[in-house]
Amino acid sequence: MLTLTNIKKSVSQHTDVVLFRNISLQLRVGEWVSIVGPSGAGKTTLLNCIAGIQGGDQGSIELDGMEIHQLTNDERSNVRRLHIGFVFQDFKLLPYYSVLENVILPLARDKKKEQLTAKAKSLLEQVGIGEGYYHRLPSALSGGEKQRVAIARALINDPKLIICDEPTGNLDNDNKGQVLHILHTLKQKEHAIIVVTHDEEVAREGDRIYELKNHSLNEVGVKDVRDKLEENS
């Protein structure tokens, strides 16, 4: 479903600094992969490369047989809009649009507003955002509320691939449980999921767990996750 082959990415800081190299990974339909690692190791950049937001220096990324970085900018944008749900660490809600409008916006030009509105309300209800919040602007929301709206927006297109960058980082235990339940429900419906997290409980939900550290992505055992997170904190 998703195949990464020998991905390398560098960033420019006076000279080129390698974030990661030789990253290879296969993700199957209905599989959840968790990624842990220290801050600055390149976890968010790796997610951006997978979604086609950033390009890699070498290697290939295929989603359902499409080589993401051989597509045009518009084609990559359409792949994200129609096939990928991305939960960003910093939410990326549009400040002058209401909660409901933010959730609807990715598909606003593809489906009837009435149909999208009904679906958006259902998703918001699932993540604990009630009717009283629908017409609020993001500036009127707490960090946890923004995160839940961002999760609802990521699910509006029934994505084949769900990419989550610290999806529970701003949530209390009750709301974290809600989000994990939603992700498990999506997994059972054969959506593929990648989650970057510093939360041991969230990481352990994955079918496989990887650590991105020292430029490399390596699978780690469930029993090792606590030690890895403590090392990286």
Q: How far is CA 15 from the centre of its chain?
A: 30
pLDDT of residue 166: 92
Query: One-letter amino acid identity for 150?
Result: A
Which residue in this structure is represented by tokens 């990419």? 163
What are the boundaries of each domain within the chain?
2-93+159-232
pTM of the model as a whole: 0.91
Asked whether residue 8 carries a pLDDT value surpassing 90, the answer given is: yes
- Provide mean pLDDT across the span 179-203: 91
pLDDT of residue 14: 67
Asked whether residue 109 carries a pLDDT value surpassing 80, the answer given is: no
Give the other-Cβ count within 10 Å of 58's Cβ: 12
Give the residue, 172 or 217, on which the prediction is more confident: 217
- Provide mean pLDDT across the span 69-80: 90
| Predicted confidence band of residue 216 (pLDDT cuts 50, 70, 90) | very high
- Provide mean pLDDT across the span 155-171: 90
pLDDT, averaged across the chain: 90
Q: Would you report the helix, strand and coil content of the chain in percent, each value rounded to 5? A: 40, 25, 35
- CATH of span 2-93+159-232: 3.40.50.300
β-strand partners of 212: 217
Q: In a 3-state reduction of DSSP, which class is residue 72?
A: coil
118's tokens? 């009904």
167's tokens? 């999806």
- Provide mean pLDDT across the span 170-182: 84
pLDDT of residue 170: 77
